[in-house]
Amino acid sequence: MSDIVAPNAQEQQKVSHWSAYNKALVDRGDLRVFVTQKVLDSWRATTRGKNGRPATYSDEAIKLVLTLRTLLNLTLRRTEGLTKSLFQEMGVDLPVPNYTTLHRRMKALSVEFETTVNEHIGMPIDLVFDSTGIKIRGRGEWKTKPNDRLNVRDWRMLHIAMRTDNFQIVAMDLSTCKKGDGQAFVDMMATMEKGDIGKVYADKAYVSKECFNLIHQKGGTAVIDPRLDLRLANPKMVRENPGLKQRNDILRQVHEYGRSGWKERSRYHQRSLVECQMYRIKACFGGRFRSRIHENMVTEAKIMVFILNKLTSLGIPRTILAA
């Protein structure tokens, strides 16, 4: 397991391997992390025997170009020009998809990112869940005016499940604002196997009985901050919803030790790690989608997660308490 320590306002921490972490930060600017020989070897699409004009570029080729676009926050046309110049400097003699091809293929592109939950057999891993809003249109924040009917904004909610030991995002969901965190939680947990999950950290948005039941079914332990208005479930409700036993246990501990005491004893502050991940998403990608079609936004969000996992795999800060 990692020696990452959850941030605490009363504890000063320092990076224990600064030289290695500093090298990882430098390597994150190397485009060769994504432009690998394996991708170049599979650049052209294979014939699939279907009617119609065969595709020229493989999914891996489209994914690479869109990765450069998302990484550098470019338009599709500028991405086409960047990829051409990059291949010219590298001496790579391969065609580059134009911006219309990128836009068309983006809608149905399959993007795989790190989804292996149980990396070490027999060792369940801890997960933390959260969501953030990403704007797709609207005026800038400095132009905000009360009751301005022309100030129309639209958002998408990015829901993620992140490992606490290595910051890898193992599941994500992109939805409109009408889809709640609890519903997205159910969709993401459905992709995980029973026994792979240890503790599940989440805030008050995930206190529904559906969330606790699903955690119970997957063999996990809930560490979810209960709302102030929650009351103990009666025995009949617990029999019908076994996950509520964990929620009752949390409520009893909050009553016994106080909310702050329960958070310290349960290490609830591990949840702050996902807040750092949300900051990285906004800092790296600008907090706004460039796509305008929902299917393309889903692909763009998956590429964001792919990039973050790739950069994180190069090295993460491992902190220790300062003397």
| pLDDT score recorded for residue 120 | 52
d(CA 170, CA 140): 32
Q: Are strands 197-202 and 169-175 parallel, antiparallel or unpaired?
A: unpaired
Digit-coded pLDDT (tens) for 265-302: 999 999 999 998 999 999 989 888 888 889 999 999 99
What's the mean pLDDT in 237-258? Answer: 94
Q: Can you spell out the DSSP letters for 201-222?
A: EE-GGG-SHHHHHHHHHTT-EE
pLDDT confidence tier of residue 9, bands split at 50, 70 and 90: very low
How many residues are given for the chain? 323
Residue 5 φ then ψ, to 5°: -110, 135
pLDDT confidence tier of residue 52, bands split at 50, 70 and 90: low
pTM: 0.84
Digit-coded pLDDT (tens) for 75-133: 999 999 999 999 999 999 999 999 999 999 999 898 887 654 445 556 788 999 999 98
Q: Can you give the residue ranges of every domain in the chain?
A: 13-113+292-321, 125-138+155-278
| pLDDT score recorded for residue 147 | 52
| pLDDT score recorded for residue 18 | 79
d(CA 175, CA 66): 21
Digit-coded pLDDT (tens) for 13-50: 777 677 888 888 898 888 888 998 999 999 998 866 56
Nearest alpha carbon to residue 156 among 302, 272, 310:
302
pLDDT confidence tier of residue 318, bands split at 50, 70 and 90: confident
Amino acid identity for residue 94 in this structure: L
d(CA 255, CA 275): 27
The chain-wide mean pLDDT, for the chain, equals 85
What's the mean pLDDT in 225-254? Answer: 94
Q: Are 128 and 273 in contact (CB under 8 A)?
A: yes
> Residue 128's Cα: distance from chain center in Å?
10
Take residue 129 and report the two structure tokens written for it.
């869940």
Query: In this prediction, what percent of the chain has a pLDDT beyond 90?
Result: 56
Q: Are 14 and 319 in contact (CB under 8 A)?
A: yes
d(CA 183, CA 205): 10
| pLDDT score recorded for residue 11 | 58
Tell me the CA distances in angstroms from 19 to 29, 38, 69, 166, 320, one per residue in order.
16, 29, 30, 18, 15
Higher pLDDT pick, 320 / 256:
256
Domain 125-138+155-278 has CATH 2.60.40: no
**Contacting residues for 112 by C-beta, under 8 A, at least 6 apart:** 306
Element (DSSP H or E) covering residue 14:
strand 13-15
Q: Are 6 and 167 in contact (CB under 8 A)?
A: no
Digit-coded pLDDT (tens) for 152-211: 557 889 999 999 988 899 999 999 888 889 999 999 998 888 778 899 999 999 999 999
**Alpha-helical runs (H) found in the chain:** 18-27, 37-41, 59-72, 76-90, 99-106, 181-189, 209-217, 235-240, 244-266, 272-285, 294-313
